[in-house]
Amino acid sequence: MKSFSEQCSENQKKNAVEMPSEEARAAPGNGATVNAAPTRESPAQQNGIVSSHDVSSPVSQSQTEHQLPSTAPASPAQPPREQWGGKYEFLLSCIGYCVGLGNVWRFPYLCYRNGGGVFLIPYFIMLFLTGMPLFLMELSLGQYGAAGPITVWKCCPLLKGIGIGMLCVSILVSLYYNVIIAWTFYYLGSSFQSPLPWSCDALHNIAFCGNKTNVTQSPSEVFWNVKVLGVVNSEGLHDPGPVRWPLALCLLAAWVVIFLCMLKGIRSSGKVVYVTATFPYFVLLVLIIRGATLEGSLNGVAFYLTPNWVHLANAQVWNDAASQIFYSLGIGVGGLLSMASYNKFDNNVIRDTLIITIGNCATSFFAGFAIFSILGHMAWKKGVPVGQVADTGPGLAFVAYPEALALLPGSVFWSILFFLMLFMLGVDTLFGNMEGICTAVLDEFPQLRSNQKHKTLFLALLCFAFYLMGLLLITDGGIYWFTLIDSFSTSFGLIIITLFMCIGISFFYGVNQFCQDIVDMICRCPPWCTKLLWYFKACWVVFTPFLLTFILTYIFIEMYRTSLTYGSYVFPTWGKALGVCMGAFCCLQILIWAIVAVSKESGTLKDRFKKSIRPLNSWRVNNINTATQEQHVEPQTVEGPFTVNLTEADFTAMNWEAVSEA
């Protein structure tokens, strides 16, 4: 078998000659004649003449004339697909999509809940054996197919349910993710008060700060549980209570921002990420420097880095590691597929995969120091071990960070900057999720894409529907529903979807063909890119499916042995069953749509299965047309006393003299 680098060099030599013929093979029976521009290898150019699209052989001319009288209705012209303004826009947009709120509030609290530094071991194992390979698979699928998470499965119609499942997961994630943005927006508005309402300088917090020996909750914890959530007014999942209208206004403002961002398109949003993708690192650096000067901060860092090996035997630790990788990288949600579908065909997806995945995980690790240095200081103030300070859950960022900001000089200014950073991170990430939903729908119904008025109406209805459903999560007991959706939307259901995606591409579509598709896209990259494909190929075929299957088995065994909790509240059995149903609903889409695909075919069951895994005729049309357009060079005008019309003989004859005599 030839190496990927040798295949790449051969493709570069044959690309110009094979492109027209391959394009004709890609869509047989469509009733359309595709005229490609002559390339550098064409005989006409070798003879010193640059021909245009109008020059064709007698055979092609006769075929065209024969097709003209056809009364078949012409297919409606599809609107041109947008593309990123540059490769850095896509790269920064993906970084902004991946580096989000989860790096600040989810990763540190998962480390905190799972025994500190021991969580880093399964986390990085999942990164190299599942995160990177699956990330590259999604980027390559979207870029090569130039389609969203549903339409892209024309490469294997049997697996269309994977795209539907991705859409379901994306809906669940978007539903509760914007609630976090609403919390951030509420804190941002509260930061304009001086002193900060969660600081000891506020008069109503004197009782919590005066006597350190009897204080069990910090002012930031009281502000979070009482003022923001109102969870003290709810008895549990069955008692949601009334809607908290200040949060409802914040949630409405958050969805308005998302709606406006979606209307601008990818070209304008790509400019914003130059700020939103770099500003968070500056703020986190300031917090780490400030936290290092606080008393007891080293104890928190030691708790963060010191592994507790007992936790490695707990299935929940591995489940949290896998879900955090998928959650932070956006794997299996459809956002990566959608954003990559707007790439140029020759974009280097391997380079982007390495930069984005390593940068994302480094940011999570970097943010952990800012969190745990503050937790160490909080533990020192309360005189308790680090493991007992603050509550686990998303409230960690809204408890530890506000208290850290209250300790900084000029706390009001830093609080505004910090929560503005969180707000931008959240909007960036949710924009990617919503782009996945919208791209999936617009690809299935292209008439919406061509009509701006209909597209605007669709976005408005979609955002308003999300707002209405999100009202449940901002009631007094909304945090319980938030925890339920958060725990099951990115748990076993997401792993099953990615497992079937990996198996389907590797064994149904063909891992060799998929690697060849990647080589076709990145032929201009250094040789190490193609050599690295051997590692990813081994992961796709062996390591990633095996590891995901092992995790699923372990999760299902331990699922009914552990209880879902928030603080001291234990979720009832019916609540946990509801969460399992949410995850199962996403997975069942794979089976349902596989049955639909098989039933549409004819013949025996074996024949139907074989037909349902074949790529559709239109699978390679988009990328071939894109490549052809990029290689097209405007023909030069040859000044002469007469017009030269080339025939088929000009391309096949051995010499020009023999043709003229004939």
Selection from 566, 221, 565 nearest residue 398 by Cα: 221
Asked whether 375 and 386 are in contact (CB, 8 A), the reply is yes
Asked whether 428 and 180 are in contact (CB, 8 A), the reply is no
Asked whether 353 and 518 are in contact (CB, 8 A), the reply is no
Selection from 205, 235, 236 nearest residue 222 by Cα: 205
Residues contacting 587, CB < 8 A, separation 6+? 165, 492, 493, 496, 497
The 3-state DSSP class for residue 565 equals strand
Residues contacting 471, CB < 8 A, separation 6+? 243, 248, 251
Selection from 418, 414, 170, 425 nearest residue 272 by Cα: 425
Ligand-binding annotation for 103, yes or no, is yes
Ligand-binding annotation for 334, yes or no, is no
Distance (Å, whole) CA 419 – CA 425: 10
Ligand-binding annotation for 222, yes or no, is no
Residue at token pair 């570069």? 12
The 3-state DSSP class for residue 660 equals helix
Q: The tokens of 219 are what?
A: 């002012």
Cβ density class 254-263: b for 16+ within 10 Å, e for less: bbebbbebbe
569: phi then psi, degrees, rounded to nearest 5? -85, 130
Distance (Å, whole) CA 354 – CA 133: 10
Residues contacting 645, CB < 8 A, separation 6+? 55
Enclosing H/E stretch for 67: helix 58-67
CA 182 to chain centre: 21
Ligand-binding annotation for 319, yes or no, is no
Ligand-binding annotation for 96, yes or no, is yes
Selection from 485, 489, 490, 492 nearest residue 548 by Cα: 492
Tell me the torsion sign for CA atoms 173, 329, 107, 188. negative
Distance (Å, whole) CA 43 – CA 48: 9
Asked whether 393 and 484 are in contact (CB, 8 A), the reply is no
Ligand-binding annotation for 360, yes or no, is yes
Residue at token pair 């005729």? 617
Ligand-binding annotation for 512, yes or no, is no
Distance (Å, whole) CA 244 – CA 239: 14
Asked whether 579 and 488 are in contact (CB, 8 A), the reply is yes
Task: Provide the annotated binding site.
Answer: 96, 99, 103, 328, 360, 425, 428
- Residues belonging to the binding site for Na(+) are 96, 99, 103, 328, 360, 425, 428
